[in-house]
Amino acid sequence: MVLASHGQEPPTTGFEIRSKQTIGANNVGVDETVKTFAKLSTTDIVAEPIEDEEPRLRDAGLDLFNRLKAELHSRDAEQQRSKANTPLLSDTELNVRLEDYIFFSHCQSSTRILCLIGAGLSTPSGIPTFRDPSGWWRNYDPAELATPGAFRRDPAIVWQFYNYYRHGALTARPNHGHLALAELCKYKDSMSINQNIDGLCERAGHTSPELESAHGSLFEARCTKCSYVEVGSLTDPIVPALEFLEDTGIADIKVSMKDIPLQDLPFCPAQDCGCLLRPGVVWFGESLPYDPIERIDAWMDRGPIDLMVVVGTTAKVYAAAGYIHAARKKGAKTAVVNMEDNGEETGMAEPDWFFRGDASQVSPGIFEEVVGMFGEVPKTM
């Protein structure tokens, strides 16, 4: 059933909803239905089809009534459990779509929430996405540099790319979307699968065990031969040879690249090794690391999942897309926050939710009922 968006003419229900308090409407629209019945209980409303009404409208109306009654029943049950009054919607809040109102209620009542975080969450902070042409670097497709083959062929160019990306991440700041997801884990039993490598989730206070950065980190480096891993290095640049001046515009194809000898790149400090270090990220063609996947799977195996939140990603690539299907099998409803709608790829189906827009602005709004509102992002983050 398609519900009315703001500024659009709401569809009619095609049936009569009546209240035992004689509050009712004939062929009322969806938005008006919410306004009229938000304060009623399940025992106060009945529905009767309008005789000779077009079947399509009658069926749409019955669907609306069933959904509304289920929501009211859920609210009443929650009141009985908590022995507390559930706040009624204010006049200004009555303009939300029924679809959104049901999401807010479901999010509040959810106990276990699984989140999948993609590049679209960090784009508002100034971090380009690999899948966007604006993210290209010196006419290189970053996806072509992020491979084991590219590193074997030219480790200097790959390290210069990651050094540039790393510097940008260090100078960027988490946005309100990062803060909202970090705050959500304080109120819910949650697990966030982070596909980003920029460290902004962690700087927003979203850390293990509620966050698993399955694709690695720009601030890790690991040996190409032994088991050495350098973790949490914020030195910028990681070695002196990779230093560049702010005004050189290294991302500009017109600016000449430095010819960096192999011996000046980062090398393993482990005794009896001394082999080349590589960025500690998962490249295209590589498997996700075992340990974070084990922890994610262990969390998922603990019980049913109430809500799956997909933020800033089309989830076209496995294993990301696989987690969405796995969560749905465990009972999760799915909410997607993204600039583009890729419902088929993400396994979206009714009665799920899609919120189109900037993830840094949309995410705080849809979780406000749980985490509250945010002020300015601290400059120290």
Can you list the domains of the chain with their CATH numbers?
15-103 (no CATH), 110-127+175-215+288-381 (3.40.50.1220), 130-171+216-281 (3.30.1600.10)
Q: Which residues of 361-378 are buried (b: 16+ CB within 10 A; e: fewer)?
A: ebbbbbbeebbeeeeebe
- What is the per-residue pLDDT for 275? 96
pTM over 0.95: no
- What is the per-residue pLDDT for 185? 87
Does residue 190 surpass a pLDDT of 60? yes
As a whole number, mean pLDDT of residues 102-110 equals 90
How many Cβ atoms are within 10 Å of 307's Cβ, its own excluded? 24
Does residue 114 surpass a pLDDT of 80? yes
As a whole number, mean pLDDT of residues 131-139 equals 60
User: Residue 93, by phi and psi: left (phi above 0), alpha (psi -120 to 50) or beta?
Assistant: alpha
In the numeric block, which tokens belong to residue 144?
A: 């072509």
Residue with more model confidence, 315 or 203: 203
- pLDDT, one tens digit per residue, over 269-292 is 998 999 999 999 999 989 999 999
Q: Which residues are annotated as catalytic?
A: 215
Tokens 């809500």, residue?
A: 307
- What is the per-residue pLDDT for 101? 80
- What is the per-residue pLDDT for 372? 76
- pLDDT, one tens digit per residue, over 53-76 is 455 555 655 666 566 666 655 655
Nearest CA among 234, 177, 237 for reference residue 204: 177
As a whole number, mean pLDDT of residues 156-166 equals 92
Which residues, 6 or more positions from 296, have their beta carbon under 8 angstroms from its beta carbon? 191, 193, 212, 214, 323
Report the C-alpha gap between 216 and 195 in whole angstroms.
8
Average pLDDT, the chain: 76
- What is the per-residue pLDDT for 18? 39
Does residue 113 surpass a pLDDT of 90? yes
Q: Lowest mean pLDDT: which of 14-23, 30-39, 134-143, 233-242?
A: 14-23
- What is the per-residue pLDDT for 131? 57
Does residue 29 surpass a pLDDT of 70? no
Supply the Cα-derived Rg of the chain in whole angstroms. 25
Report the C-alpha gap between 84 and 78 in whole angstroms.
9
Q: Taking each helix axis as running N to C, give the angle between helix 290-301 and helix 320-329, from 0 to 180 degrees, rounded to the nearest 10.
A: 10
As a whole number, mean pLDDT of residues 246-257 equals 62
- What is the per-residue pLDDT for 371? 82
